[in-house]
Amino acid sequence: MEFNFVATTYSNYKNELERELKALLHEFEPIVFLSFNINSVTYGKLNGDPVKASERLWNLAHTDPWKIRRILRFVPIAFNCPLDVIKIKEIAKRLGNSIPSDTSYKIEAEIRLSKITRNKIIEIIAEEVDRKVNLEKPDYILEVQIIDNSCGISVLKDRMIFKSLEAKLEGSYFP
């Protein structure tokens, strides 16, 4: 299954999340949601660059925070592959080489509906990426989203992942 984003919401608000994404990201239509059985997560494919979609959400959270009610996180995905160690290693090596050698990174992995462990995924990827690790303030995040037997991987800067609470607090006028 190919997907280029993963979005999260509050428990039991998946349908509202999908409606909100369609309304706020209408310039990225068609947005196709893929079905699976978790009531607080959706994933799918939108037309266009998912990093630009995330940027749009950041801007909306700053200018009109009340429009974003159900989206908690929006994670852009660059590459898909089946949940296969060899394929994941190939993509990890390619993405690792795209991280400048004088910068740091960390691996973030979210596993849903799969038996593979987070530690195993981190171990597989870390073997392929020869860059300095910084778990506190990395320059890049190697994001891994596993859903059932599908894997999505991206190299992102922290600001490329939309986080509604962080965005709303940044945009507020509170001291």
Q: What does the alpha-carbon distance between residue 98 and residue 138 come to, in Å, rounded to a whole number?
A: 15
Residue 172 has pLDDT above 80, yes or no: no
Residue 80, domain extent: 5-171
Per-residue pLDDT at 35: 83
Residue 21 has pLDDT above 90, yes or no: yes
Residue 156 has pLDDT above 50, yes or no: yes
CB 62 within 8 A of CB 164: no
| Pairing mode of beta strands 73-76, 162-163 | antiparallel
175 pLDDT tier (thresholds 50, 70, 90): very low
- In the chain, % of residues over pLDDT 70: 98
pTM of the model: 0.94
Residue 174 has pLDDT above 70, yes or no: no
Neighbours of 136 (CB within 10 A): 6
173 pLDDT tier (thresholds 50, 70, 90): low
Mean pLDDT (whole number) for 18-39: 94
Name the domain count of the chain. 1
Give the CATH number of the domain where residue 149 resides: 3.30.2130.30
Residue 7 has pLDDT above 50, yes or no: yes
